[in-house]
Protein backbone atom coordinates (compact mmCIF):
# COMPACT_ATOMS: atom_id res chain seq x y z
CA UNK A 1 0.00 0.00 0.00
CA UNK A 2 1.09 3.54 -0.67
CA UNK A 3 1.51 5.54 2.54
CA UNK A 4 0.79 9.26 2.57
CA UNK A 5 2.55 11.36 5.21
CA UNK A 6 1.28 14.87 5.91
CA UNK A 7 3.16 17.51 7.84
CA UNK A 8 2.76 19.26 10.08
CA UNK A 9 -0.15 17.59 11.84
CA UNK A 10 -1.10 20.93 13.41
CA UNK A 11 -0.39 24.37 12.02
CA UNK A 12 -1.13 27.72 13.65
CA UNK A 13 -1.03 30.79 11.44
CA UNK A 14 -2.33 34.35 11.33
CA UNK A 15 -4.81 35.91 8.92
CA UNK A 16 -2.93 37.03 5.84
CA UNK A 17 -0.08 34.53 6.26
CA UNK A 18 1.19 32.39 3.42
CA UNK A 19 0.66 28.80 4.52
CA UNK A 20 2.30 25.67 3.13
CA UNK A 21 1.16 22.12 3.83
CA UNK A 22 3.21 19.09 2.85
CA UNK A 23 2.28 15.61 1.69
CA UNK A 24 4.79 12.88 0.91
CA UNK A 25 4.04 9.55 -0.78
CA UNK A 26 5.92 6.35 0.00
CA UNK A 27 6.34 5.70 -3.72
CA UNK A 28 5.91 7.48 -7.03
CA UNK A 29 2.28 8.54 -7.60
CA UNK A 30 3.09 10.77 -10.59
CA UNK A 31 0.56 13.59 -10.24
CA UNK A 32 -2.43 11.57 -8.99
CA UNK A 33 -2.83 13.67 -5.88
CA UNK A 34 -5.82 15.63 -4.58
CA UNK A 35 -6.32 17.99 -1.65
CA UNK A 36 -9.51 18.19 0.40
CA UNK A 37 -10.71 20.63 3.02
CA UNK A 38 -12.92 19.41 5.85
CA UNK A 39 -14.52 21.87 8.23
CA UNK A 40 -15.87 20.70 11.58
CA UNK A 41 -19.08 18.71 11.15
CA UNK A 42 -19.02 18.89 7.36
CA UNK A 43 -18.21 16.57 4.49
CA UNK A 44 -14.83 16.98 2.80
CA UNK A 45 -14.63 19.38 -0.15
CA UNK A 46 -12.30 18.96 -3.11
CA UNK A 47 -9.89 21.88 -3.48
CA UNK A 48 -7.20 20.69 -5.88
CA UNK A 49 -7.12 17.68 -8.21
CA UNK A 50 -4.28 16.14 -10.24
CA UNK A 51 -1.75 18.02 -8.10
CA UNK A 52 -2.38 21.55 -9.36
CA UNK A 53 -5.85 21.89 -10.93
CA UNK A 54 -8.19 24.17 -9.00
CA UNK A 55 -11.68 22.75 -8.52
CA UNK A 56 -14.54 24.94 -9.76
CA UNK A 57 -15.61 27.54 -7.21
CA UNK A 58 -12.48 27.29 -5.06
CA UNK A 59 -10.73 30.62 -4.36
CA UNK A 60 -7.52 31.26 -6.25
CA UNK A 61 -5.56 31.70 -3.01
CA UNK A 62 -5.39 27.88 -2.95
CA UNK A 63 -2.77 26.24 -5.15
CA UNK A 64 -1.01 22.91 -5.41
CA UNK A 65 2.34 21.72 -6.70
CA UNK A 66 4.65 18.73 -6.85
CA UNK A 67 5.07 15.41 -8.59
CA UNK A 68 6.35 11.93 -7.85
CA UNK A 69 6.49 11.71 -4.06
CA UNK A 70 6.50 15.30 -2.78
CA UNK A 71 3.48 17.58 -2.90
CA UNK A 72 2.46 20.92 -1.45
CA UNK A 73 -0.75 22.82 -0.85
CA UNK A 74 -0.30 26.56 -0.51
CA UNK A 75 -2.74 29.15 0.76
CA UNK A 76 -1.38 32.49 -0.38
CA UNK A 77 -3.19 34.65 2.18
CA UNK A 78 -4.91 32.82 5.02
CA UNK A 79 -8.53 33.78 5.69
CA UNK A 80 -10.59 32.99 8.83
CA UNK A 81 -12.85 30.67 6.82
CA UNK A 82 -9.83 28.50 5.93
CA UNK A 83 -9.73 27.03 9.45
CA UNK A 84 -10.19 23.31 8.75
CA UNK A 85 -8.40 20.00 8.43
CA UNK A 86 -6.72 19.38 5.08
CA UNK A 87 -6.20 15.91 3.62
CA UNK A 88 -4.14 14.77 0.69
CA UNK A 89 -5.33 11.75 -1.29
CA UNK A 90 -3.50 9.62 -3.83
CA UNK A 91 -5.41 7.73 -6.48
CA UNK A 92 -2.55 6.23 -8.45
CA UNK A 93 -3.24 2.83 -6.93
CA UNK A 94 -5.00 1.43 -3.87
CA UNK A 95 -6.34 4.87 -2.94
CA UNK A 96 -5.12 6.30 0.35
CA UNK A 97 -5.48 9.48 2.37
CA UNK A 98 -2.96 11.24 4.49
CA UNK A 99 -3.69 11.66 8.20
CA UNK A 100 -4.50 15.33 7.77
CA UNK A 101 -3.16 18.73 8.79
CA UNK A 102 -5.30 20.74 11.19
CA UNK A 103 -5.03 24.44 10.42
CA UNK A 104 -5.95 26.91 13.13
CA UNK A 105 -5.70 30.65 13.64
CA UNK A 106 -2.93 31.98 15.83
Which CB sits closer to other proteins, 13 or 46?
46
Which CB sits closer to other proteins, 55 or 74?
55
Shortest spacing between CB 10 and other proteins, in angstroms = 14
Euclidean distance between CA atoms 78 and 75, whole angstroms: 6
Which CB sits closer to other proteins, 13 or 97?
97
Shortest spacing between CB 49 and other proteins, in angstroms = 5
Shortest spacing between CB 18 and other proteins, in angstroms = 25
Binding site for other proteins (CB under 8 A): 34, 36, 38, 43-46, 49-50, 55, 87, 89, 91, 94-100
Amino acid sequence: DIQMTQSPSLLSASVGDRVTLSCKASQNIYKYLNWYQQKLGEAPKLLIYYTNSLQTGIPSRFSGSGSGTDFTLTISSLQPEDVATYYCYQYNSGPTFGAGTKLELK
